Amino acid sequence: MAQKKRVAVIGGGFSGIAAAKAFAERGHDVHGLERSRDFGGVWEPSRSYPDCRSQSAKDLYCFTDHSYPEKVPEWPAAPDVHAYIHSYADKHDVARLFRLGTKVEAMERRADGQPGWTLTLIKEGDDKESASKEDFDFVSVATGQFSEKNVPTHPGEGDFTAQGGATMHSSDYTDPSIIRGKRVVVLGGSKSALDIAVNAASNGAKSVTIVYRKNVWRLPYFIGGINFKHLLYMRAQEEQFDGWLPSPVGRALRLLLKPLIWFNFRGLEAVLTLQLGLKKHNMVPSEPIEDTVSCSIGVVTPGFFEALDDGTIKAVQGSIERYEEGAAVLSNGDTVPCDVAVMATGWKQGIPFLPAEAQHKLVDDDGVHRLYRFAVNPDLPDLGFVGFNSSFCTVLSAELVANWLVRFADGQLGNQATTDEMNANIDKMQQWRREERPVAKEYGGLCVAPFHFRHFDELLKDIGATKQHRANPLVELFVRPNTAAYGEFLASAPQYRAV
């Protein structure tokens, strides 16, 4: 029988809400802790830049039992996503479990020798001296992968800002009025960079230059006229990538179909190159697309290539070397006039409040996390992670892993691996990332894409779901995940309540 626990859920984004619901549903005493004043995480209005839309379509970027309102577009805008998170929290009455404006500053094993952890909490506006400590039997970390800003600094920045220039991280670009009439330089070549460059160009910036290090494949919302959700999220497509721990039959099949798979990806590259005009912009990536598909592959911001065409955005390959008065000097020697420099340079991975010895167990020297099923480290008891299985449908992956984690914590998984089995699996996964699929090391190795079905199959099997697939094998092979169906699969697992 599962014992009722006092559970901390750290973070109030999609993953924290999913974790709070999953643990509360099983009868646990849940305490959500969110440092911001509102739910939403990356979608919280104070962190969300104007015109930001989801990359995932709304039927894929949702929980199993809750749809977006009909009027919300296929790719919801940030306020739509934020409202959706609130409506889900209301529907399941989980908002009351959270303390907002409460930051977890540190955590340590409990001093009383009991299982669990002691968290050091600081309320917004309080100083470290006013911190309080609380004991929990289990801690679920749901702090996301995009919470600690990566803000590079460059020589000359002090003088540049003293002379009226401004530098900021992409997540602080929340009001386009600051760039009106200004010369903007955006550093970075990923999704935030493109979104902000387009936003600045269409909101009255005097000039916009995007400075990026390497050419990468990006997907338009419609590839050759087809919504990309119909192409990318299939089991049949997923099987063409080098997935983790392939069965001997799977490996043999892939080998047999290698020429066909090769043609498929070359075809996709040709379509993307033509459709986006990559050649004329000198933006054809050198790496084969199949080696680069992971959570970092971004959707093209509508208007980006059009703005390159008409010259409203200029793209330069390189980096910022230093600042001079009213200018950024680039690594290629160019001097670009600059009043505002936006660092769309991403995020640092890691969990700063974890004690050093726990960090050491959690993260290998190359920055890749050691997590079984992207959720637990067998050497860190009474601790689990939700949302560390980022994907192209992150809300569904967070909900599934939250349901896995509560059963793991309660010893109620149908397939509960031993410590040795978990460590052996982690070692094999690390080896796969290092030797077979280096792109899987991105973002701390915390991305399951494009292997959604494989990951979801593993979780459901462990959970003991008796239904794991849709009835029609062709639908299962060629159609994207159906979030509502995953709700049914979860419901087919043995149910219990902690007492």
Ligand X SMILES: Cc1cc2nc3c(=O)[nH]c(=O)nc-3n(C[C@H](O)[C@H](O)[C@H](O)COP(=O)(O)OP(=O)(O)OC[C@H]3O[C@@H](n4cnc5c(N)ncnc54)[C@H](O)[C@@H]3O)c2cc1C
Ligand Y SMILES: NC(=O)c1ccc[n+]([C@@H]2O[C@H](COP(=O)([O-])OP(=O)(O)OC[C@H]3O[C@@H](n4cnc5c(N)ncnc54)[C@H](OP(=O)(O)O)[C@@H]3O)[C@@H](O)[C@H]2O)c1
Residue 152 touches which member of ligand X, ligand Y, none, C-beta under 5-8 Å by kind: ligand Y
Q: How far is the CB of 78 from ligand Y (least distance, A)?
A: 8
Beta-bridge mates of residue 376:
372
Length of the chain: 499
Nearer to ligand Y, 148 or 457 (CB): 148
Nearer to ligand Y, 210 or 498 (CB): 210
Nearer to ligand X, 10 or 380 (CB): 10
Parallel, antiparallel or unpaired: strands 226-227 and 222-223: antiparallel
Report how far residue 333's alpha carbon sits from residue 340's, in angstroms, rounded to the nearest whole number. Answer: 19
Q: How far is the CB of 332 from ligand X (least distance, A)?
A: 29
Residue 346 touches which member of ligand Y, ligand X, none, C-beta under 5-8 Å by kind: ligand Y
Of the candidates 35, 32, 9, 31, the one whose C-alpha atom is nearest the C-alpha of residue 124 is 35
Q: How far is the CB of 158 from ligand X (least distance, A)?
A: 28
Nearer to ligand Y, 275 or 319 (CB): 319
**Cβ atoms < 10 Å from Cβ of 28:** 25
Q: How far is the CB of 442 from ligand X (least distance, A)?
A: 13
Per-residue exposure over 197-225, b if at least 16 CB sit within 10 Å of its own CB, e if not:
bbbbbbbebebbbbbbeebbbbbbbebee
Task: Catalog residues that contact ligand X under the rule CB under 6 A.
Answer: 10-16, 33-36, 41-42, 52, 54-56, 61, 103-104, 142-144, 146-147, 353, 387, 391-394, 398
Tokens of 183: 């010369």
Q: What are phi and psi of 349, to 5 degrees?
A: -85, 165
Parallel, antiparallel or unpaired: strands 327-330 and 320-324: antiparallel
Q: How far is the CB of 141 from ligand X (least distance, A)?
A: 9
**Which residue sits closest to ligand X, CB atoms considered?**
41
CB 376 within 8 A of CB 384: yes
Residue 187 touches which member of ligand Y, ligand X, none, C-beta under 5-8 Å by kind: ligand Y
Q: What are phi and psi of 453, to 5 degrees?
A: -60, -40
Q: How far is the CB of 323 from ligand Y (least distance, A)?
A: 14
Residue 63 touches which member of ligand Y, ligand X, none, C-beta under 5-8 Å by kind: none
Sign of CA dihedral 293, 295, 297, 300: positive
**Which residue sits closest to ligand Y, CB atoms considered?**
346
Parallel, antiparallel or unpaired: strands 117-123 and 102-109: antiparallel
Nearer to ligand Y, 150 or 492 (CB): 150
Residue 387 touches which member of ligand X, ligand Y, none, C-beta under 5-8 Å by kind: ligand X
Nearer to ligand X, 89 or 327 (CB): 89
**Cβ atoms < 10 Å from Cβ of 255:** 9
Q: How far is the CB of 186 from ligand X (least distance, A)?
A: 15
Q: How far is the CB of 299 from ligand Y (least distance, A)?
A: 7
Sign of CA dihedral 410, 411, 415, 418: positive
The radius of gyration computed from the CA coordinates of the chain, to the nearest angstrom, equals: 23
Residue 15 touches which member of ligand X, ligand Y, none, C-beta under 5-8 Å by kind: ligand X
Of the candidates 115, 147, 34, 144, the one whose C-alpha atom is nearest the C-alpha of residue 383 is 115
Nearer to ligand X, 209 or 391 (CB): 391
Residue 149 touches which member of ligand X, ligand Y, none, C-beta under 5-8 Å by kind: none
CB 9 within 8 A of CB 16: yes
Q: How far is the CB of 282 from ligand Y (least distance, A)?
A: 16
Residue 170 touches which member of ligand Y, ligand X, none, C-beta under 5-8 Å by kind: ligand Y
Of the candidates 436, 331, 432, 387, the one whose C-alpha atom is nearest the C-alpha of residue 145 is 387
Task: Catalog residues that contact ligand Y under the rule CB under 6 A.
Answer: 52-55, 146, 150, 152, 170, 187-193, 195, 212-214, 295-296, 298, 319, 344-346
Nearer to ligand Y, 10 or 187 (CB): 187
Nearer to ligand X, 16 or 220 (CB): 16
| 3-state SS, residue 475 | helix
